[in-house]
Amino acid sequence: MCQRQATPDVLPLGLTATEQPLAVPVPSSGSRRRRLWELDGHAYCPVVGVCLPLPQLRRLAEKALGKLGHYSDYEVHCTVVTECRRRSPLSESLHKELETRYALVLRAAQQLKSTEALGVWWNDCRAGADWAGALWAALTHPRCDAELEQRILGEVHMMQHQVGMATRADLSRLETLYEENAILARELAGAQERSQQQTSHYSARLEQQQAETLRLRAELVQTQTRLHQQDETLAQLQASAPGLAVRLELAQQNRLQEEELQARKRLLQQARLEAQQQRQRAETLQARLQANRPESTTQPTLPAAAPDLDKRSVLCVGGRTASVPIYRQVIEHTGARFLHHDGGAEDNSNLLDATLAAADLVICQSGCISHNAYWRVKDHCKRTGKQCVFIETPSRTALERALSEIDLTGN
């Protein structure tokens, strides 16, 4: 694999190429492993180049041959390969170094008892990343014959070519990575500069916010102090005026009740005004009817069982608008005062509660009243205990019948 052998001008200690004895082949029978100087001449180059690192190789060569500082790596390699062809202090030193370095691999290869097993073992080992020890163990194994040795050296030769190509590719990638690293370094410097600027900006903002926080905390302390003082003042006032909180609550309730009472008075006054207007309209309508009827029919007759309502207020809720004068006439002839609410059709539904409060007796036209007004009438009479008569048909006869059924014992 080496392109040239070491020449006399690069061989130390006065050795020449013609003075180097060739390695004597050792038979593969027996259990004795071959020494370095007993290998085939083509094996020295891969063994020296693969199995020993170059710095270690240079140290061993200088120890045995003297200073080689002006020798290149290639010249050192060629000199060591030439020395390995014979038994010398350098070859013995290299053999000892290889035995020590790959002792574990040699111990594993020692278990192999045939050339075929050794070949299989070498195939398994060369597929891994660290196959230098397997190379040394296979070439020096007592079962390594010439055919297996040539196969191993050929495979190592091709692997070295592949390693060289991979190394060149790695160098190319390394140069690309260097360029990318330079670009990224510049970008990183720019990013660091921007980060520094942002850090300065946010530091200034943080200082402003911290100053604002201190100011707000001072204001909070002042506010809490004033609140504490006001609490103390309030406690003193409460101590000087026992029951102040209760009186304030009662005053508030009294004010609310007064407002509710005024609202009810206004509703009651409005209801009375509406009732007065309805009475006037009914009287006007009644006068017209009496003027158009014969004298014998102007005085209605009441059933014998009609009660005397003795100026009580009777409220008719619902009914037809045209029947209101008839309701008024029938009720007022019993001595009662007539009140009316249409049940939410035209009159304001808010006046219903006030009108119910002013009535002593309620007659509800359940067939001519809204659903809401019906339940309000029923609920009011139930709460107040007022008597309520429900009429299904809005007629004079039904009203007279309802009046005859009124029980005045509870009123």
What sign has the CA pseudo-torsion 23, 64, 89, 91? negative
Q: Which pLDDT value is given to residue 18?
A: 35
Six-digit token string for 122: 């070498």
pLDDT at 151: 87
pLDDT in tens, the chain (411 residues): 554 443 333 344 333 333 344 444 444 456 788 898 988 888 888 888 888 888 888 888 888 888 877 888 888 888 888 888 889 898 898 889 888 888 898 888 888 888 898 888 888 888 776 788 888 888 888 888 888 888 888 888 887 777 766 566 666 777 788 888 989 999 999 999 999 999 999 999 999 999 999 999 999 999 999 999 999 888 888 788 777 778 888 888 888 998 888 888 888 888 888 887 887 887 788 777 777 765 544 444 444 445 566 678 888 888 777 778 888 888 888 888 888 888 765 556 678 888 888 888 888 887 778 888 888 888 888 888 888 888 877 777 877 887 777 766 555
Q: Which amino acid is at 29?
A: S
Asked if residues 142 and 34 have their Cβ atoms less than 8 Å apart, the reply is yes
The Cα 93–Cα 301 span in angstroms is 155
How confident is the model at residue 205, as a pLDDT?
A: 92
- For residue 360, give the nearest of 382, 329, 339 by alpha carbon: 339
Dihedral of CA 118/120/121/127: which sign? Answer: positive
- The confidence score (pLDDT) of residue 16 equals 37
SS3 label, residue 44:
helix
Q: What is the pLDDT at residue 347?
A: 56
Q: Which residues of 213-231 are buried (b: 16+ CB within 10 A; e: fewer)?
A: eeeeeeeeeeeeeeeeeee
Neighbours of 109 (CB within 10 A): 24
Q: Is the pTM of this model over 0.75?
A: no
Q: Which tokens hold the place of 173?
A: 């990638």
Domains of the chain as residue ranges with CATH? 17-144 (no CATH), 270-410 (3.40.50.10700)
Residue 90 in contact with residue 61, Cβ under 8 Å? yes
pLDDT for residue 17: 38
Q: In which element (H, E) is residue 98 found?
A: helix 89-101
Alpha-carbon distance of 183 to 403, in angstroms, equals 110
